[in-house]
A and B are shown apart, each in its own frame.
Chain A
Amino acid sequence: MSLLRLDHVSRRFGGLVATDDVSLEIPGQGISAVIGPNGAGKTTLFNVISGFLAPSAGKVIFDGQDITGRPPEAIARLGLVRTFQLVQLFDDLTVLENVKVGFHMQTQGGLLSALLPGLASRHEEQMVEERARDLLRQTGLADQAGTMAAVLPYGKKRLLEITRALAAKPKLLLLDEPAAGLNKQETEALAALLRGIAAAGTAILLIEHDMSLVMSVTDQIAVLDFGRLIARGTPDEVRANKDVIAAYLGTQSEAAHA
């Protein structure tokens, strides 16, 4: 059974149809990807799934629930957690604190436990501290735990954003171009990390430009072009698909013009 299902989802901006009647099923395990040329509507689709944009038409079903038009924080609580194309860290928090924020949904402490930390929430804070440090060790950021997020090098910022999302214990992790701006080494490390996450039972859906990453880690790929789904299948099937090649390289007639 699929974990996420898009049912004829469209999103229009005025006259522009950014997402055009997309129907798609994402399984509850493994790594899936949405690819497509610039402007194909990938990020719009992500925003619709994660609740940052309401669809103009169609339905989004996650884990058996209709989440169409629900706010992002409500969707996150169901176990669908995303990262952003432009890294969105909490700059005034340390690396460790950033990950601790990821545990927000699994913890309770409010004002009272903030004012009486010894009584109300010591246990909870200890648990969060230990698990956050564990996660940082897994993603290789343990040495930077006390560093302010703002001063991390770019590659580590990307990594921290994923670590923080993992803290939220997602059923489905949405990654918006996780390899953007990473060098080859960092991309390889990222691929290994993603495989590890998927192997541990968290499904991943990523949008990606970096073909080497997509082809090396994904189990299934959906291809968007001008907002429409033009192909789907395994990496090999997609690579051989004529429509996909045309979308990426231009059709012959377009190529002749160029």
Chain B
Amino acid sequence: MMNSLTSIWAEARSNPLLLVLWLAVAALAAYVFVNGGYLMAVLQFACIYVVFVAGLNLFMGFTGQVSFGHNAFAAISGYTSAVLTATYGWDPVPAAVLGIGGALACALIVGYPVLRLRGHYLAMATLAIGLIAYEVAVQWDSVTQGYMGISGIAPLGVGRWTITSDRGILIFLIVVALLSLLMVRGIRRSRLGRSFVAVAGSEDAARALGIDVARTKLLAFLISAGYAAVAGSLFVHAVGFVSPEVFGLHMVVLAFTMLYVGGIGTIVGPVFGAVIVALLPETFRGFKEYQDLAYGAALVLILIYTPRGLVSLPDLWRRRKAAQKTDVQQTSARQGGAA
């Protein structure tokens, strides 16, 4: 643990912008913790999405695949948690464990055939999975209560110890989000993580080195589905309410935005993506009816100027400086020649 802490510190020092971003997020968390208010809900929401996006990042950023359907796994575990605690009076922990297990089982059954597809076909097939999950949530009235949704879901906790205060929930979610990031970091630096990135780089070369590509993709899919399922259960227990819209297509669009804004394929990108995308609509509240327009414009600008996400900003800056340097050298060389 000490080791990983010191290496995190070394990384931060070598990348000052990242340090600034971390400090900004920490300051925001501290401010919200003290003052509460509406931002509390925004930050809790962001933490849950950090988990979801960090998992999606494993599958899309590291392994180079695409999925528009991970909301399905969040929906399966989220609804399992909701139904078992609200309707049948289960404790949240066994309900969530069963939900996550169910989501993983579905991911295994679905992933095995679907992962034979590539590119656009994989995107279409996964999109279908997400849409099916949404339809089931809407239509299966007797269990999910359709559009009405389920309320009275048990709060996070074990037995008599429950976390019900906003501050407590925030702390818990921050801890879970950080843990999930540490796990992603561990995976990325391991043999398994290298094989993920290898598959993204060249499936042929990976196979030529003895990597079972189909199995590797399935593992990445399962792990990321696990993250999505954890996020789904966290959401319903933290908020206490679930409806089909919570895990609809909107979830996918939001997660994609966070992934690309933060920096796809980086370890910490999902944090900044989730926090910024969650905050942006609030930031532009002053624009009144132009709020959505300003929000959209901000996203487009971020994506144009940091194509590999906010985390890639230092690279961009370095490259620009290097380019200026060569410009200066060329100019002075030309002037030298003229003189």
Q: Which residues of A contact B (CB under 8 A)?
A: 50, 52, 71-73, 76-77, 81-84, 88-93, 97, 100-105, 107-111, 113-118, 121, 124-125, 128, 149, 161, 164-165, 168
Contacts and interface: CB of A to CB of B under 8 A. Distances in A.
Contact of A93 (B190, B198, B209, B219): B198
A104 B207 CA distance: 11
A174 B171 CA distance: 55
Nearest to B208: A82
A71 B201 CA distance: 19
B48 to A, nearest CB: 21
Contacts of B223: 111
Given A73-B210, A93-B197, A113 B205 contact: no
Contact of A92 (B3, B213, B265): B265
Contacts, number: 113
B195 A52 contact: no
A88 B206 CA distance: 9
B323 to A, nearest CB: 15
Contact of A89 (B205, B212, B213): B205
A26 B29 CA distance: 66
Interface in B200-228: 200-202, 204-213, 219, 223
B209 A165 contact: yes
B157 interface: no
- A82, A107, A161: which has the most chain B beta carbons within 10 Å? A82
Contacts of B205: 84, 88-90, 161
B309 interface: no
A101 B209 contact: yes
A114 B211 contact: no
Contact of A114 (B3, B187, B197, B210): B187
Interface residues of B, number: 30
Chain B's interface: helix, strand, loop or mixed, by majority? helix
Nearest to A97: B194
A73 B206 CA distance: 8
B202 A89 contact: yes
Contacts of A90: 197-198, 200-202, 205-206
B207 A93 contact: no
Contacts of B190: 109, 113-114, 117, 121, 125
Contacts of A124: 191
Contacts of B192: 109-111, 113-114
A212 B208 CA distance: 28
B186 interface: yes
A117 B74 CA distance: 28
A147 B280 CA distance: 35
B183 interface: yes
A117 B186 contact: yes
Contacts of B189: 114, 117
Given A72-B208, A89-B205, 17 more contacts: A71-B207, A73-B207, A83-B208, A88-B205, A90-B201, A92-B201, A93-B198, A101-B198, A101-B206, A104-B191, A104-B198, A105-B209, A108-B191, A114-B187, A114-B193, A115-B186, A168-B209
24 contacts: A52-B204, A52-B207, A76-B208, A81-B208, A82-B208, A88-B205, A89-B202, A90-B206, A101-B194, A101-B211, A102-B209, A104-B191, A105-B209, A107-B191, A108-B191, A109-B191, A109-B192, A110-B192, A114-B187, A114-B191, A114-B192, A115-B187, A117-B189, A118-B3
Nearest to A50: B208
Contacts of B206: 90, 101
Contacts of B212: 73
Contacts of A108: 191
Nearest to A78: B210
B186 to A, nearest CB: 5
Contact of A164 (B1, B3, B209): B209
A116 B186 CA distance: 8
B194 A100 contact: yes
- 6 shortest interchain CB distances as A-B pairs: A90-B201, A114-B190, A88-B205, A105-B210, A76-B210, A88-B202
